[in-house]
Chains A and B, each alone.
Chain A
Amino acid sequence: MNTVIIDGLAFALPLFIIAIGGIYSERSGITNLALEGLLGVGAFSGAICVTIIGPMFGPGSQIPMYIAFLTAMLGGMVYSMLHGVLCIKFKANQVISGVVINILAMALTTFFTSQANEGIFGKPSNKFVLTASQRITVPVLSEIPVIGAVFTNFYPYEIIIIVIAVVMFYVLYKTKYGMWLRACGDNPHAVDAAGVSVSRVRFIAVMISGALSGLGGMCFAYSISANFSQSIYVGFGYLAIAGLIFGNWKIGPTLGACLLFGFARSGGYKIVDILKMPVSFSDLVMILPYVLTLLLLVFFSKTNRAPRALGEIYDKGKR
């Protein structure tokens, strides 16, 4: 039971922070299918940074990891500006821009990974090896039955994510900028009439989504794979999109969706383990989160409603 909770959270939280990024972008009216590419570029920037600065710190030092998280957010943010420029300035189709950004991200990061390994570090390889992150256990709290698992063996990034998620929740629902952002997604003309630049609000929203996706990507790189390579692109970005749509573009329900994905995934592995099934069965169990999502959607998506102006190019003259 404990491992289900521990592994479930380790998977669900990075997914959640990426989904929050997606919510920011989509609530502002910009469809963001680029999450997959953004998380990849984020993880790439973090990983290359760690490979460069890592040797400066002693072995076992955790400082490079935190620098990597920062670089990953920065990298994701810078790259997301491309999506912002295409969608807002160049009025490109947002769905298409997202897909293009993903394809380009995959191409650029794999290309530069092998180039950098060969050119800078002098050893041909298609990945950056990272040491897996340390895990923390809180002494007293972890003794509590069942809930204690939450405080056992967790990755330090989980705390970072929870803190950022709370801040993001506050910004989106309690601040003026958050209000503008939500209004941009539903009625951009009203925002414009109030004297606020729709393009600017949206651009910032897209940059936030880039930063958060970058962070999420780096977390995956540190936990699941312990390296950066092409294997980071396995569709977690798309899964985050599924999560946020399932969560009806709201932060709270999206957390529920991501936890569902996480626990169904870790629970599935556990079942295979307990029943001592042959490894091939793990493939069948792996479909659990997705089948569950589809079933739940059948019952709960009647009331689902996307932001009204989502995906529409803002045209001042249009009424």
Chain B
Amino acid sequence: MKKNKASLTDKILTKVLGKEKWYGITIPLLSILFALIAGAILLLLLGKNPIVAYQSLLQGSGLLPKENYAGGKNMLTDFTSMLNVLTPMIFAALAVAVAFKAGLFNIGVSGQMLFAGFVATVTIGYSDLPVYIALPLVIIVGSAGGALIAGLIGILKFKFNINEVVSSIMLNYIIQYVVSYFIYTNFLDPVSRQSKKIADTARLTIVNFPIDKIKIDLPLGFVLAIMAIFVIRFLLKKTKLGYEIKAVGLSTKAAKYAGVSVGKTMITSMVISGALSGLAGVTYYMGYLGSIQPKVLTTVGFDAIAVSLLGNSNPFGIFFSSLLITGITKGSTYMTSTIGVSVEIASVITGLLLLFSACGMYVRHLANKSNDRIKEEQLQQLKGGEQ
């Protein structure tokens, strides 16, 4: 009985978090707040002004105006260049989320991105197809490339019981080395030590697009990313396949008894996840960058795992968490110049952010307990009143 007494912390916790149906939003917000406070303390310890620091993060990512701009640039330039980085992140995080819903852990997003980006680069990127044929083909080839690799992982898991984490990691290495072999032997630009730049007609970002007096980089893939968010949400919420994916993710046994074909669903979800990774790959390598650096596996696929978690594996949540993480990363360069702190501080803040959000489940657990205790107390008081 002692435990049922609601304490002050219970009341504060439930007040701060609001109604239970809002937990999906309030708990991440609370995590973000705590991370920003922790980051601010770190900045203070280094003798820097955290408010200026956070302000310059926003300015650097084009969400707040800077005091002065170089010629031909303004806030829009920064903002669109942030969108350029954001686009592949959204796709990659969605890819992680779809697999995660089916109980699979797609740690191979980076490898799938590289494969899709490379295949699309050599087939379409170096061709002289006109824009209206090249761009759709890039999208198709990219998503097919990613789907192929992820589908293979799904089949290996289902047919041969190979843990998807292992096969993803092995394929990451294999793709990384094979791609750099081909780049070094066939497609190397001797000056930049990267693959040769792709044709502008095949690029998913319009570089130096003139608007008024300024020039911006216009990421066409961003529109596609927004569409993908809605499509994936619809898929997971409203379709039979989405229901089956979630059922398999919650319990393969229960799903089997309910008549869901577990293997088929797993492979399908991996194929969808891979197609999204592929789109992340083409928007990254053929939009944002325009070339491929050999021997390097991008960290986007790994960061996306955390972004997806921060967004609660929910497509809308993923949009905001991608925006947040990309904003911090993109704005950090400018922050370095304003307060003179090394760039790595941004990744430390990101790391703290993810750390706090990983504790989200615990906060939810605490909040539920607090709620129970408060209800219990109210019930007791009601009973007391009746007597």
Contacts and interface: CB of A to CB of B under 8 A. Distances in A.
A303 to B, nearest CB: 8
B344 A107 contact: yes
B61 interface: no
Contact of A99 (B180, B305, B361): B305
Contacts of B257: none
Interface in B338-366: 342, 344-345, 347-348, 350-352, 354-355, 358-362, 365
Contact of B306 (A100, A245, A291): A100
Interface string B138-169: 00000000000000000010001111011101
Interface string A107-130: 110110011000000000000000
A293 interface: yes
B309 interface: yes
Contact of B174 (A33, A104, A115, A290): A290
A103 interface: yes
Chain B interface size, as a band, is 35 or more
B160 A86 contact: no
Interface string B207-225: 0000000000000000000
A111 B177 contact: no
Contact of B351 (A103, A284, A286, A304): A103
B169 A103 contact: no
Contacts of A287: 173-174, 177-178
A290 B173 contact: yes
Contact of A97 (B177, B185, B351, B358): B358
A102 B351 CA distance: 9
B254 interface: no
A111 B348 contact: yes
B162 A111 contact: no
B345 A111 contact: yes
Contacts of B365: 91
A114 B342 contact: yes
A103 B302 contact: yes
B37 interface: no
B170 interface: yes
Given A93-B309, A107-B344, A302 B361 contact: no
B105 interface: yes
Contacts of B347: 103, 106-107, 110-111
A90 interface: yes
Interface stretch (A139-147, A150-158, A233-241): A233-241
B164 to A, nearest CB: 10
A52 interface: no
Given A99-B305, A100-B358, A284-B181, A108 B161 contact: no
Nearest to B365: A91
B126 interface: no
Given A96-B306, A287-B177, A110 B361 contact: no
Contacts of B105: 95
Contacts of A99: 302, 305-306, 309
A306 B105 CA distance: 15
B359 A235 contact: no
A304 B161 contact: yes
A90 B357 CA distance: 11
Contact of B163 (A238, A286, A306): A306
Interface string B230-269: 0000000000000000000000000000000000000000
Interface in B285-314: 295, 297, 302-303, 305-306, 309
B329 to A, nearest CB: 11
A96 B156 contact: no
B184 interface: yes
A66 interface: no
A90 B359 contact: yes
Given A114-B344, A245-B165, A287-B174, A302 B160 contact: yes
Contacts of B107: 33, 238
A271 interface: no
19 contacts: A91-B365, A92-B360, A96-B305, A99-B302, A99-B305, A107-B344, A111-B348, A114-B344, A235-B173, A238-B107, A238-B169, A283-B184, A287-B174, A293-B170, A294-B170, A301-B160, A301-B163, A304-B162, A306-B163
Given A106-B351, A241-B165, 19 more contacts: A86-B358, A89-B362, A90-B359, A92-B359, A93-B358, A95-B105, A96-B306, A100-B309, A106-B347, A110-B347, A114-B342, A114-B344, A235-B297, A241-B169, A283-B177, A284-B181, A290-B170, A293-B166, A302-B160
Interface of A: 33, 82, 86, 89-93, 95-97, 99-100, 102-104, 106-108, 110-111, 114-115, 235, 238-239, 241-242, 245-246, 280-281, 283-284, 286-287, 290-291, 293-294, 297-298, 301-302, 304, 306
Interface of B: 105, 107, 156, 160-163, 165-167, 169-174, 177-178, 180-181, 184-185, 295, 297, 302-303, 305-306, 309, 342, 344-345, 347-348, 350-352, 354-355, 358-362, 365
